[in-house]
Amino acid sequence: MNTFWQTSTFFGIFITLFFYGVGMFLKQKVKHTLVNPLLIAIVFTILFLRVFGIEYQTYNNSANYISYLMTPATICLAVPLYRQLDALKRNFKAVMFGIASSVIVTMVSVLGFSRFFGLSRTAYVTMLPKSITTPIGIGVAEELGGYVAITVASIVISGILGNMFAETVCKMFGIQEPIAKGIAIGCSSHAMGTVKALEMGEVEGAMSSLSIALAGILTVVAASVFATLL
Amino acid sequence: MKLFKQFTIIIALSFIGEVLHALIPFPIPASIYGILLLFLLLEQKTLQVDDVKEVADFLIFIMPLLFIPAAVGLIDAWNELRSSLTAYVTIIIAVTLIVMVATGRITQWFLRLSRRYTDENT
């Protein structure tokens, strides 16, 4: 049976789509933060692989095909951004200031926590790119000599957290301006958070999309400076 | 035919992004070059939103799905994470929260400040 999984092109793609469908169905039935389609699909897929004793690599050989759409999908985020061009132009300074400050806040707080936990330099630089989009994060971690697999894990977990709790956090901490919400989400939880921002509104989605690109690029520069500080 | 054209444009931009990534020695992935490029093309009116609209909307709609394979990969990262689990988990959760709150509040403060400034001067 295991050999069947290994040769199947579509099982990984199918169970990914299927469990995401289950997640969306449950979300319509139960309105709760923890009933998050992304989280449900991840958990169910992991359980499925465990129950049937399927290796991640075997699953990913199939599921990987949908990952190839990530680059084109990310590029398409330019469309909501363009639709909000006026909002961007009108608030250009605030947007740039917000994104730049997010990068500084990320770097400073990772540095602070790393000192607190007495992390090695390798572990510290592993965490520096945790808030940005995966492909840039991998590049930064490789360049600074971090543990790339852990960087990827930290990016994914940040994204899931942002996707799940963005609305609650914005409400709890009085972040009401759609532009501020979008930037907060995009800068803390990249594209996975942006999916939630797009659900919240077009302005939120557009600003979050812009943050992925700009916070990502700024982090490349800032991380190389901050890497020397521990 | 329309969808074919839209899909071709988006894949072409992905390819151009890859070329730029190969040529420019920075860890900026193809997708970031692509998003900036598409934004510029729309802004310069070289492309219209209608040239990519339906396929773009579809790809953005299915975007959450595309994260699942990488996220399921967390099961393989478990052994490496375990070495300093408390530190990593605390940093990931705390920093995500701190950055979200701080960025949101700072941006909101700046927005409202500049809005007040504009109001006073008009």
Indicate whether A161 and A211 sit together in one domain.
yes
The pLDDT score that the predictor gives to residue A158 is 96
Indicate whether A224 and A140 sit together in one domain.
yes
Indicate whether A55 and A94 sit together in one domain.
no
Residue of A81, A180, A181 with shortest CB distance to B39: A81
Indicate whether A113 and A220 sit together in one domain.
yes
Indicate whether A180 and A159 sit together in one domain.
yes
Report if residue A184 sits inside a domain. Answer: yes
Report if residue A16 sits inside a domain. Answer: yes
Indicate whether A136 and A184 sit together in one domain.
yes
Beta carbons of B77 and A217 less than 8 Å apart: no
Beta carbons of A188 and B96 less than 8 Å apart: yes
Express each pLDDT in A99-150 by its tens digit: 999 999 999 999 999 999 999 999 999 999 999 999 899 999 999 999 998 9
B75 vs A23, more confident: A23
Confidence of residue B122 (pLDDT cuts 50, 70, 90): low
Report if residue A159 sits inside a domain. Answer: yes
Average pLDDT, whole number, for chain A?
Answer: 94
Indicate whether A23 and A99 sit together in one domain.
no
Which residues, at least 6 apart from B80, have a Cβ–Cβ distance to it below 8 Å? A147, A149, A150, A153
Give chain A as a DSSP string: -HHHHHH-SSHHHHHHHHHHHHHHHHHHH---TT--HHHHHHHHHHHHHHHTT--HHHHHHHHHHHHTTHHHHHHHTHHHHHHTHHHHHHTHHHHHHHHHHHHHHHHHHHHHHHHHHT--HHHHHHHTTTTS-HHHHHHHHHHHT--HHHHHHHHHHHHHHHHHHHHHHHHHTT---HHHHHHHHHHHHHHHHHHHHHHH-HHHHHHHHHHHHHHHHHHHHHHHHHGGG-
pLDDT higher than threshold 80 for residue A1: no
Report if residue A196 sits inside a domain. Answer: yes
Query: Of A41, A68, A95, which one is at a domain's C-terminal end?
Result: A68
Nearest CA in chain B to A54: B75
Indicate whether A17 and A98 sit together in one domain.
no
Report if residue A73 sits inside a domain. Answer: no
Query: Of A24, A50, A68, which one is at a domain's C-terminal end?
Result: A68
Nearest CA in chain A to B111: A94
How many whole angstroms separate alpha carbon A81 and alpha carbon A77? Answer: 6
The pLDDT score that the predictor gives to residue A200 is 96
Express each pLDDT in B28-68 by its tens digit: 889 999 999 999 999 999 999 999 999 999 999 998 899 89
Q: Which residues of B touch A81 (CB under 8 A)?
A: 35, 39
pLDDT higher than threshold 90 for residue A33: no
ipTM above 0.90, yes or no: yes
* % of residues, chain A, pLDDT over 90: 88
Residue A13 sits in which domain range?
Answer: 2-68
Query: Of A36, A68, A100, which one is at a domain's C-terminal end?
Result: A68
Indicate whether A23 and A123 sit together in one domain.
no
Confidence of residue B120 (pLDDT cuts 50, 70, 90): confident
Beta carbons of A135 and B31 less than 8 Å apart: yes
**How many angstroms away from the CA of B82 is the closest CA of chain A?**
10
Express each pLDDT in B59-86 by its tens digit: 999 988 998 998 898 888 888 888 889 9
The pLDDT score that the predictor gives to residue A2 is 62
Beta carbons of A101 and B69 less than 8 Å apart: no
Indicate whether A113 and A200 sit together in one domain.
yes
Indicate whether A146 and A211 sit together in one domain.
yes
Domains: count for chain A = 2
Indicate whether A82 and A64 sit together in one domain.
no
Alpha carbons within 13 A on the beta-carbon side of A222: 25
